[in-house]
Structure 1
Amino acid sequence: MRIAILSWRDTTHPDGGGSEVFVESVGRELARRGHDVTLLCARHPGAAGREERDGVRLRRLGGRLTVYPAGLAWLLRHRRDVDVVVDVVNGLPFATPLVRRRGVVALVHHVHAEQWRIIYPGWGGRIGWFVESRVVPLLYRSRPFLTVSDASARDLASLGVPAASITVVRNGLSTAPPAQPPAESPAPRLAVLSRLVPHKRIEHAFDVVRRLAEDLPDLHLDVVGDGWWHDELTAAAAAAGVTDRVTFHGHVTEARRDEIVGRAWVMLMPSVKEGWCLAITESGAQGTPSIAYAGAGGVTESVRDGATGLLVDDLDEMVEATRRLLADAEARRRMGAAAREMAASLTWEACAVRAEQVLLAAGAADQSP
């Protein structure tokens, strides 16, 4: 098939995250399986307009918002050269059904209800949520949907997307877990692996450190990742009085990321909402259990509560769960081993095979009389 993927960003974008890793990893596997794959995404400073990576052609067009009309214009120009379009609905859709009747698959990682209110508390957020919750189900009616967790599938169904049209394809893992997990740091260490944006609520991790510091004077937090909320987070760490206990690493290589989370005793994920949460899988691959909020959607599947990590209801419970897990080396070892086993079972190849079935069906329907 000739597949075009329209995505807001790619992994080299300063705001790129797990959604972009998913798109490019599945695209790479589809290319390996013989398909012709083009990824359309926004330009960003320092990025080439055209690039080929892992068998996938990248075409960067437009900016933060203009990428959407630019993507539609590209699709119109190349409509005879594409069999299937994957429209990545990251809050806002590319609206590809406006220019293409068939051969469209919508990819939704999670529904953004809470994020709209947090990032755009005024009319902008209300309009964004209206588009996502009302316009998307109508615009993509009768089109197949891909998503990454049962939780996200339920959220889509609650918006009116027919459950029968939704296929769950869980995240994979770029590299297999190492033969032996890294050794924990001598002193207690927490990690957060995340884009630095408001809805990840990394401030909660600072509160965890502040509230445990008296009993654990050597406790330290490593924050891996970057984003436009960086300055606000450094200010929040200062306000919490934990600046000397927090290290902001920014963007790092995969090897460095694995080293940092592998030495951590526990990974915290205080995010408002996740489709799956690739960071939990990446930490689990290094034998590090995670603690996340049970109300955050897909984390209830990427964390098996009590087995590969812990799910909690609020900040107070996150503090106490962290305290217990830091004090219980045997529980960390047991959960870390289970997390590694779970991570080893998740591959991008398996993810792509399942996605390919949906794309083939959509492409076949496009060719029907």
Structure 2
Amino acid sequence: MTLSTTSPKQRLRVLYLSWRDRENPEAGGAETFTERTSEVLTQQGHEVTIFTASFPGASPRTRHGDVRVLRRGSKFSVYLHGMLHVLRHRDDYDVVLDVQNGVPFWAPLVAGDLPVINIVHHVHREQWSAVFGPKVARLGWLLESRLAPFVYRRSRYVTVSKSTRSELEELGVDPGRVDLVYSGNDRPEDLDAYARLERTEAPTMLFLGRLVPHKHVEQAVDILASRAMSHPDLELHVVGGGYWEDAIAEHARARGVADRVHLHGFVEESRKHELLARAWVVVMPSHKEGWGLTIVEAGLHGTPAVAYEFAGGPSESIVHGRTGLLADSVSEFEDHVIRLVDDHAMRRDLGRTARLYASSFDWVRAGRRLESVIGSVLGLTDRYRDDVIDLDALIATRPEPRRTELEVVAS
């Protein structure tokens, strides 16, 4: 990997336009990226404001550490409020980070000479029809695929995976304008303590994320039903919240496996890491992910993951056959899960390598890389070349694991 040798010297005023903030009940991986990179930017001496949607019980303004948070409008009207904020306060900022979650905030239309960087985690092509009716889905895809590339034709882009950059190229975005900033990973201070936890007695799959239709959690439920004869003790733990939770519960009842599906809802960080550390395998049946933050979170605990290769980001957050398994179809996804459940040695070996790979991602590096992108857009620094995470090099240079790690991780 090659970093720019310089960094912005002056204190920059950064405006982050984000659909949600971390306190929003619907917050997900994109919001984690926004919040954690904002923290790093403030640690680097910059002033960061997150402009986002309000939600029931939310304060119109608050602070997340040193980051100022402004909330206006609903999850739909926030885009108009965001444009008005840029129009009225563009002289108060040096750069705008416009997070495109399906549709962007259209900041270039009102920013004047203020530089705008478009941050795209993934293209929402399939998700429009999964969430909305046909008319709204067609409109959303038209805005994302045709209008947004035109409005941001002079803007730099940031994305979290090479697959998303390729998808943007299909929409007409020059890949030369797209910088890659891999997501980080939150390493618990007591990570070794979690490594001493035993795996659950019964084999367990774990899903961690927002409960919305396009995450396809029902596919994990279906594995319990289809393998009921051969694996009657296999269980599924679902961690996270969302409006689709009742639908998942109903699907489990309809398939006759409700007693083996455990819906935890939102949990504390310590409980989340405990569940990740004790699970046998993490499943990500989503058909579209920008990166797959859950995959590398699980990797820290030596827990391998199964995801779809065509989902995009997981094809990079998983190194197939080394840190987890990638599937091309629903049936292959199921086969991969059962293979890991049945093969202790494979789980152990993939888990060990997954932990090493996951440890190579951190938010300080992600934040500093984003800072470098901002600096290069403002003419303050050079651009850096893409990351190359060399798993073989990581393996070659890793120290011998302690006896407790050899015995416990992914066992």
- Compute the TM-score of the two structures, normalised by the length of structure 1: 0.97
Amino acid in structure 2 at the alignment position of 1:135: L
2:364 alignment counterpart = 349
Amino acid in structure 1 at the alignment position of 2:353: A
In the alignment, structure 1 residue 123 sits paired with structure 2 residue 100: no
Match of 1:11 among 22, 26, 34: 22
- CA deviation vs aligned residue, 1:53-90 (integer Å, no higher than 9, x gap): 12111001111111111111112221111000000000
Displacement after TM superposition at 1:364 (Å): 3.7
SS of structure 2 residue aligned to 1:14? coil
In the alignment, structure 1 residue 179 sits paired with structure 2 residue 192: yes
In the alignment, structure 1 residue 156 sits paired with structure 2 residue 168: yes
Q: Is the 8 A contact 1:106 1:143 kept in 2?
A: yes
Displacement after TM superposition at 1:183 (Å): 2.2
In the alignment, structure 1 residue 142 sits paired with structure 2 residue 154: yes
Match of 2:268 among 247, 253, 260: 253
Identity of aligned residues (%): 42
Amino acid in structure 1 at the alignment position of 2:125: A
2:394 alignment counterpart = none
Q: Is the 8 A contact 1:43 1:61 kept in 2?
A: yes
For the residues of structure 2 that align with 1:25 and 1:80, how far apart are their CA atoms?
Answer: 25
Displacement after TM superposition at 1:147 (Å): 0.3
Displacement after TM superposition at 1:30 (Å): 0.4
- CA deviation vs aligned residue, 1:257-295 (integer Å, no higher than 9, x gap): 111121110011100100001011111111110001111
2:320 alignment counterpart = 305
Displacement after TM superposition at 1:363 (Å): 2.9
1:89 alignment counterpart = 100
In the alignment, structure 1 residue 230 sits paired with structure 2 residue 230: no
Which stretches of structure 1, 4 residues or more, deviate above 2 A after TM superposition? 179-183, 361-365
In the alignment, structure 1 residue 32 sits paired with structure 2 residue 43: yes
2:376 alignment counterpart = 361
Amino acid in structure 2 at the alignment position of 1:229: W
For the residues of structure 1 that align with 2:148 and 2:275, how far apart are their CA atoms?
Answer: 39
For the residues of structure 2 that align with 1:54 and 1:173, how far apart are their CA atoms?
Answer: 19
For the residues of structure 1 that align with 2:319 and 2:255, how far apart are their CA atoms?
Answer: 31
1:268 alignment counterpart = 283
For the residues of structure 1 that align with 2:265 and 2:379, how far apart are their CA atoms?
Answer: 44
1:206 alignment counterpart = 221
SS of structure 1 residue aligned to 2:205? strand
Which residues of structure 1 form unaligned runs of 5+?
Answer: none
For the residues of structure 2 that align with 1:335 and 1:358, how far apart are their CA atoms?
Answer: 34
SS of structure 2 residue aligned to 1:295? helix
For the residues of structure 2 that align with 1:93 and 1:339, how far apart are their CA atoms?
Answer: 34
In the alignment, structure 1 residue 111 sits paired with structure 2 residue 123: yes
2:404 alignment counterpart = none
Match of 2:52 among 41, 58, 61: 41
For the residues of structure 2 that align with 1:348 and 1:321, how far apart are their CA atoms?
Answer: 30
SS of structure 2 residue aligned to 1:65? coil
- Compute the TM-score of the two structures, normalised by the length of structure 2: 0.87
For the residues of structure 1 that align with 2:337 and 2:143, how far apart are their CA atoms?
Answer: 38
1:71 alignment counterpart = 82
1:319 alignment counterpart = 334
Which residues of structure 2 form unaligned runs of 5+?
Answer: 1-11, 381-411
Displacement after TM superposition at 1:179 (Å): 2.6
1:170 alignment counterpart = 182
Displacement after TM superposition at 1:176 (Å): 4.8
Q: Is the 8 A contact 1:84 1:359 kept in 2?
A: yes
SS of structure 2 residue aligned to 1:311? strand
Amino acid in structure 2 at the alignment position of 1:160: G
For the residues of structure 2 that align with 1:211 and 1:147, how far apart are their CA atoms?
Answer: 37
SS of structure 2 residue aligned to 1:183? coil
Match of 2:297 among 282, 285, 292: 282
For the residues of structure 2 that align with 1:316 and 1:76, how far apart are their CA atoms?
Answer: 51
For the residues of structure 1 that align with 2:345 and 2:222, how far apart are their CA atoms?
Answer: 25
Amino acid in structure 1 at the alignment position of 2:174: P
Match of 2:209 among 194, 202, 207: 194
Amino acid in structure 2 at the alignment position of 1:284: G
Amino acid in structure 2 at the alignment position of 1:71: G
Amino acid in structure 1 at the alignment position of 2:117: V
